[in-house]
Structure formats: structure tokens, C-alpha cells
């Protein structure tokens, strides 16, 4: 049975604290939007009028533009990974496309290809 590659996590994730890199901060309002949009009524409203829903969530112009253009590379470091995946499923992105885009993020570590590359320590 073929194994599915794991999704890589972009550099700057909050887990990098204490290393040479600055930790990336999570954006409260972006996470709140991604959490709230799991409600069917809000998801339907978002699909009809994205700008009206986004107006309720104060966030930077950069993040707002990234949502409009589906720029996963900009959004990913600012949001919980589970909420990110739910969000893109709700807006209609197929899993294969979502994972492909995550793996194309510059400076993201490569995902293991299967069990043989995973170490247990």
C-alpha cells in the first residue's frame, strides 16, 4: 500500500522559537474567520460575498489580499494547520491541489516520502 506524503510546514512556524529564525505569529482574526466559517450559514455567505464577511474580521491588508487570491504561502504561517485545511476545503479546493500548493511554499522543509525516510527515536 502506497503511503501519502506528509505535508511540509513553512519556516517561521511558531514551533521555531529559540532557533535563529524569528517565530511567526498567529493572526487571531484569521484563525477566528477559519473557525467561524465551518458554520454552514457563514460558509454559504462567504461563498456569495467574501468581502462582506471579511469586513467583520479586522486583519492586515496583506492577509485580506492573500485570502482573495488564495495565497496559501502567505496565509499558512499565520493560522492553525487544521483550520487552514478546513478553510480550503470549504472554499472548494481539492485536497491534492491544497497539498501540492503547501509543498511548493519556498523554504518549506521537504515532506518525507514514506516510512523508510521516517526515523523513530
Candidate from 14-28, 37-51, 62-76, 85-99 with smallest mean pLDDT? 14-28
What is the model's pTM?
A: 0.67
Alpha-carbon distance of 111 to 104, in angstroms, equals 11
Mean pLDDT of 11-26: 48
* pLDDT > 80? residue 30: yes
* pLDDT attached to residue 115: 47
Q: Which residue has the higher pLDDT, 95 or 11?
A: 95
Calculate the alpha carbon distances from 50 to 8, 37, 59, 103 in Å. Answer: 28, 11, 14, 26
Q: Which residue has the higher pLDDT, 106 or 113?
A: 106
Contact by Cβ (8 Å): 78, 25: yes
Amino acid at each position: 500500500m502506497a503511503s501519502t506524503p506528509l505535508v511540509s510546514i513553512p519556516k517561521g512556524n511558531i514551533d521555531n522559537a529559540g532557533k535563529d529564525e524569528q517565530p511567526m505569529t498567529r493572526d487571531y482574526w484569521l484563525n477566528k474567520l477559519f473557525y467561524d466559517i465551518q458554520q454552514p450559514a457563514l460558509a454559504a455567505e462567504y461563498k456569495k460575498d467574501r468581502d462582506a464577511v471579511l469586513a467583520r474580521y479586522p486583519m492586515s491588508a496583506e492577509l485580506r489580499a492573500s485570502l482573495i487570491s488564495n495565497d496559501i504561502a502567505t496565509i499558512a504561517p499565520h493560522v492553525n494547520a487544521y483550520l487552514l485545511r478546513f478553510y480550503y476545503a470549504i472554499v472548494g479546493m481539492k485536497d491534492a491541489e491544497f497539498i501540492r500548493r503547501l509543498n511548493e511554499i519556498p523554504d518549506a522543509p521537504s515532506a518525507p516520502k514514506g516510512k523508510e525516510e521516517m526515523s523513530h527515536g
